[in-house]
Structures are given as structure tokens and as C-alpha cells.
Amino acid sequence: MPPDAPYPFPGLNPYFEEQWFQVHPTMIASSLSRLQRQMPADLKVSIEQGMKISTRFDDDKGFRPDVSVWKVREDTLLASAPPNFSPPIVRDVTAPKPRHLTIRELGGDLVTVIELLSPTNKHGAGALAYLQKRLGLMESCVNLVEIDLIRKGGLALLRFEDDGMAEAIRMDSGRLPPHAVTVFRAEQPQQRELYRVTYQESLPAIRVPLRPDDQDVWLNLQELAGQCHTDCGFDKSTHYSRDPEPPLMPEDAAWLHTHLQSTHRR
């Protein structure tokens, strides 16, 4: 394939997940530049790791343990330790901190977080940590945009919501797709905006909320996917003769086979 081959799918590239270590940072960086051009003068988009929540509604709700208080409590407890107590072996654990996009006021107050979910957000302890972060953002009146393009782990947003969301995402397709975008607006905490993501239809352009008096800004996921395909050289590194991993649903796998044959990639 030539290096400038056009994006080969009408919607989401089902092979993206296999190279997520490239796709994730590329799409984050592309989103940054697109959003920055639309920002009001007093808002700034940044790529961040970890999370410190500081908003105009609450001075500081960062997820940081109070180490000094913990140390005082530990010393008090050890003073009455049983004679057979043996101190545990302690090692620091370096956990990965997935990057995400934040929109902040110039003074640092957090307005909106945009999460492009990774496998670590959807499995085991990582899913629980993400849930804590998610709830913290919502309770702090921060807008949250979740973009889930990962098959593995199921539809993450449904793990944390009620069954009504599943029905909304199904819409008239008759089945629950593996991907979706959900938008939480701090102004309307009882509502969610849902966008379906499929392989057969164009990826949605989504509205990203800012402050109550600001207009929404646009993030066009189809444009992001096309740019990512080009920047990562996907046609050079993707073997279209085999099925993607993780496996697709049977209906999607059948569609993919027909599509790749019709575009002479299989």
C-alpha cells in the first residue's frame, strides 16, 4: 500500500486495538490541536497524567492520600503491637498513569476531562480505580467525555450505569455495540449524551461541553481516526488477511470480510 493510502473503513478501524500503544497517544495529540483551536481565550487544553481536581466550585479535591496522618496512626498502632508481629516487606509500586485531555481555566480550575479509554480502565483493579476517578469528577461538577473504542472488557460505561443506558445505546440496531461515547454535563447530572460507534457507519462528531456560558466545541472522531491511520502508517503494518484481535462479533466479522474483499485488501 502507498504511504498516503486513504482511511479504509467507513467507521472505526477494527484493527486499532491491536496497536493501541500507538493509537492512544496519537489520537490524544490530534485531539489536543483540534480542541485548542476552538477554545475561548481564557481556557487551555492540556495532556495530563494522574488527576488533580481543582474547580471553581471546590478548591482542591485531588486524589492524594495524607501520608503524615497515616504515619501518626501507624506509630500509635505499633506501640501496642503483639510480640509476634513482624513488619511486612514494603515495596513501592509504579502504576501506569494513562494520559487524558483536560480543559482548564488559566488559573487551573478544571472544566472538562476527555478520556480515551484504554484496556487498563476496563479490567480488574484498573476499572475500580477508574470508577473512583469518574465519580470524583462528577461529584466535583466537572464535565466528562468518555470515548470507548476498545472491545476487550465490554462496554465500560455500562459497568457504572443502569440498564437504561444499554437500551439507549441499542437504539434501533437490535444489539448492543461494543463501543460508545458518553458525555456527562455538570449542569445536567441526571442526564447522559450517548453516541454510538460502529465499524459500518461514520464515527460521530461529538459536542464537548465547557462552562455553562460557553458554546460547546466539536471533536470529530472520524477525522481523528483518519489522521491516526495516516500518522501511524497502518496500511504498512496491518495484515488485513487475518481477523483482528480481540475477535469481532459474528455480524461485524462477516461485514469486515466482505468490506476488505471489496476494497482488495483481502
Summarised one tens digit per residue, pLDDT across range 107-147 is 999 999 999 998 888 877 777 888 888 888 999 999 999 99
**Domain boundaries, given as residue ranges, for the chain:** 16-63+96-240
The pLDDT score that the predictor gives to residue 62 is 46
The pLDDT score that the predictor gives to residue 119 is 84
Determine contact, residues 178/249, Cβ cutoff 8 Å: yes
Query: How many Å from the N-terminal Cα to the C-terminal Cα in the chain?
Result: 13
Q: What is the pTM of this model?
A: 0.79
Task: Output the CA–CA distances (angstroms, integers) from residue 121 to 142, 197, 235, in the order listed.
Answer: 19, 18, 28
Q: Does residue 9 surpass a pLDDT of 80?
A: yes
CA distance 202 to 251: 17
The pLDDT score that the predictor gives to residue 2 is 45
CA distance 112 to 105: 10
According to DSSP, residue 58 is labeled B
State in words which class domain 16-63+96-240 has: alpha beta
The pLDDT score that the predictor gives to residue 208 is 96
Summarised one tens digit per residue, pLDDT across range 69-84 is 445 555 666 677 677 6
Cis amide leading into 246 (omega within 30): yes
CA 73, 79, 83, 87 torsion-angle sign: positive
Summarised one tens digit per residue, pLDDT across range 30-86 is 999 999 999 999 999 999 986 666 555 555 444 444 444 445 555 666 677 677 656
Summarised one tens digit per residue, pLDDT across range 187-227 is 998 888 888 899 999 999 999 999 999 999 999 999 999 99
CA distance 159 to 155: 7
Determine contact, residues 146/112, Cβ cutoff 8 Å: no
Q: What are phi and psi of 219, to 5 degrees?
A: -130, 110
